Structure 1
């Protein structure tokens, strides 16, 4: 039976002194605010990168975004379009600022973090459309962002990893001229039917339980039938042929652990290069707690290096 890493157990013991409110018990604004308060556990923000906020004007709406670039970098760099986690209902440019800084500096690439639309105000497929459209926007504006359009990846964590994986094939389906070189997925949610064995095996996992996961899915996919569509869940696609190569990082004690394993295996079945690495004893999204978990820091470094390798 899987056991939690001792550092995780200690952290959970300290957090249990003020038990977090369940998302169904509080207004959505309060649930989002609680997520923002976890930023301090990510560690000290890396100051070795230049950071700028800007706005993407997309068809019918505008999205906020933030670009990161290692200080002192010369010329056009490979780029990563990043989608934050948060169960489709919370998360922001701020909650993932520490992570995005580290990835940019450690990987030696520019990173564009996208503030996509959240549920329940915006249901499927709006966040999916935001992911694909924002990637195409970055590709079209690569020159002014000082990014190499031929070395552009998608990446994300948790629900954001689903958006990244969906954009990786959605961009190609649109035939816009944009091209996804690679995909990087952190603790990805890739099957919102919640059919994988790990959902039951780790239904009471810390940081993400089956019940919380199901509640989040309900907010973004209120129409149950859409959850089985290939457009929603990447693991529902009959073929992954033509998808870009991937690096998939997952945690062992996580309801979506099997999503990562299955997706990596599916890519390989269709001849797509994919590397999967699972961190033992870790719960969902542990890398966001790198300020207090040594394995979180190691995961970020590994992810940055692997994604950088795929882009060069």
Structure 2
């Protein structure tokens, strides 16, 4: 859609704690990811996460490790909660960062992972996968599976219990998190996911949900942004109905591990996330669904400026604590 004739959603429909960031974005010309070079998109995203994210919390230990992937290596970062004895075996939360499979890294979501480990007392392991378009689908997903294999194989050294695990992710990371949460290969590798926490996940790559027609301008992530991310991630001719890309299209009647899911109203991904939560509930899955009608995509990585992001992260942490049994 031509942005010159598209009408943005009025600011009085934006949540009060998010108006400032959205107003600043609009006043600066609405330059988004697809409007700049790939290098600038990556740099700008890291700067925005640093400027708007949570203040990094002190934790007991942080280590960045390499893990093997097909024809190379990638990295993961291990966080141990403040006050956790070095010898203590804990549950584990595997966190997969968002960024449309194209941007983002271990640093962009560092403060989120620090907060989660302290709130849950679980070891949080953040996964860096190789990014598109240099590494297109299914490489990022396969890297995440390789990370899970590595984590399970190193459980003793990492002082984690792979039978008490939960997987989480935002946006594109949420897409890969739910695909892996439902993949029997993970259990075969020795990792049992007790639940999944998804923050505005991509669940339908066909881009056919009504929210794609509703969110066309006025926010950092629009339908045009998502089309650009999809073009970077997938190769020409890709079947977007593939279950690894569009889990919503394969969710009916499939019981899933317990699910915490956040959706936000001013997001092209809103309707597919709502539909995914509904399909999981109809299939008999435990679902905790938080919908924020006045917020936009990225509330988690802007939680330093948007108080609601901090609150919803705490709600997700409570869900994790209950499933992982770290409240004793």
TM-score (norm 2): 0.89
Whether the aligned pair in 2 keeps the contact of 1:190 and 1:235 (CA below 8 Å) is: yes
The residue that corresponds to 2:79 in the other structure is 68
Of 8, 11, 17, the residue aligned with 2:21 is: 11
Structure-2 change in CA distance of 1:257 and 1:49 (3 Å): farther
Once the two structures are superposed, the pairs formed by residues 18-33 of structure 1 within 5 Å of their partners are 18-19=28-29, 21-33=31-43
Whether the aligned pair in 2 keeps the contact of 1:135 and 1:167 (CA below 8 Å) is: no
Which shows bigger deviation, 174-183 or 132-141?
Answer: 174-183
Whether the aligned pair in 2 keeps the contact of 1:84 and 1:157 (CA below 8 Å) is: yes
**Runs of 5+ in structure 1 lacking a partner?**
none
Deviation at 1:17, TM superposition (A): 4.9
Task: Tell me the distance in 2 between the aligned counterparts of 1:233 and 1:148.
Answer: 30
Structure-2 change in CA distance of 1:239 and 1:15 (3 Å): closer
Structure ranking higher in helix proportion = 1
Structure-2 change in CA distance of 1:24 and 1:241 (3 Å): closer
Aligned length: 312
Question: Does residue 286 of structure 2 align to residue 273 of structure 1?
Answer: yes
Whether the aligned pair in 2 keeps the contact of 1:54 and 1:64 (CA below 8 Å) is: yes
Task: Tell me the distance in 1 between the aligned counterparts of 2:35 and 2:25.
Answer: 19
Task: Tell me the distance in 2 between the aligned counterparts of 1:198 and 1:24.
Answer: 19
Structure-2 change in CA distance of 1:135 and 1:213 (3 Å): same
TM-score (norm 1): 0.93
Structure-2 change in CA distance of 1:197 and 1:181 (3 Å): same
The residue that corresponds to 2:3 in the other structure is none
Task: Tell me the distance in 1 between the aligned counterparts of 2:236 and 2:198.
Answer: 26
Of 210, 215, 218, the residue aligned with 2:231 is: 218
Deviation at 1:266, TM superposition (A): 1.5
Deviation at 1:250, TM superposition (A): 1.6
**C-alpha distance after superposition, 1:76-130 (max 9, x if no partner):** 1111111111111100111111111111111221111111011111111111111
Structure-2 change in CA distance of 1:252 and 1:17 (3 Å): closer
Question: Does residue 57 of structure 2 align to residue 46 of structure 1?
Answer: yes
Of 42, 46, 54, the residue aligned with 1:36 is: 46
Deviation at 1:303, TM superposition (A): 1.3
Deviation at 1:244, TM superposition (A): 1.4
The residue that corresponds to 1:289 in the other structure is 302
Structure-2 change in CA distance of 1:43 and 1:178 (3 Å): closer
- Runs of at least 4 residues of structure 1 off by over 6 A? none
**C-alpha distance after superposition, 1:256-289 (max 9, x if no partner):** 1112211112222222211111123110011211
